[in-house]
Amino acid sequence: MVSSSKASLKRKSSDIMDSSAQDSDTGSNPPIAPPLHKKVKTLTPLERDAQFLDQPKYTGKTDEEILQIQMTKWTGGGTGGVYDHYEVPYIEKAPEGHIVYKYKCKFTNYIATRARYDTSTSNLSNHKQKCARTRDAAQTQITTFAQGGYYDKGEFRYEAALWISNSNRPFLAIEDKNLNNMFRILNPLTSHFYGSRLEIRY
């Protein structure tokens, strides 16, 4: 009797395992649904401008008054003086209906456009850096010209000798009056070039 009951229990346990294995093999378990992703609505520029105006400090203010409020925060505040590079911005309405500010560079004709709700200064900062590099290069050229330009006597003689020899020109060619006048236009430190001695007299 005992052995018969044990044998019956073993058969039932084996049947359950076989049934579970069949369910797994045949894929009878329902598939797991992928997680749902919420779609985030992208606001239009006009909607972002309306959201910007919802701030209590701008309630009942004109566009000019709002600009004045914003400008009080532009002096310092970690902006690195980027706004000092531009004239006071003027107000325009974009085709989409929102308000934008126009920033004109004090040194060039460049004008940057930025929505008033936008606090990023990347476009303003990028132009400021580019403009500063251009003005520094121009100032260096002016200073160099005012000081007589770049002129090295030895290098000038060396290049003159190469020009004469490589072009099969006579040494007297370098003494041409008009050519020497051109040299003095480029650098007033040169008084006259003598081909026979290949030197500059001061």
pLDDT by residue (tens digit) across 174-193? 788 888 888 777 776 665 66
* Cα–Cα distance for residue pair 70/88, rounded to 1 Å: 12
**H/E/C letters for each residue in 45-113?**
HHHHHHHHHCCHHHCCCCHHHHHHHHHCCCCCCCCCCHHHHECCCEEEECCCCCEEEEEEECCCCCEEE
Count of CB atoms situated within 10 Å of the CB of 183 = 20
Mean pLDDT confidence for 114-124: 90
Residue of higher predicted confidence among 198 and 75: 75
Assess whether pLDDT exceeds 70 at residue 147: no
Q: What percent of the chain has pLDDT over 90?
A: 26
- The whole-model pTM stands at 0.49
Assess whether pLDDT exceeds 60 at residue 135: yes
Given this model, what pLDDT does residue 67 score? 94
Assess whether pLDDT exceeds 60 at residue 78: no
Domain ranges of the chain: 45-125, 153-201
Assess whether pLDDT exceeds 70 at residue 69: yes
Phi/psi of residue 195, nearest 5 degrees:
-65, -30
Tens of pLDDT along 19-44?
554 554 555 566 676 666 666 678 89
Q: Rounded mean pLDDT of the chain? A: 75
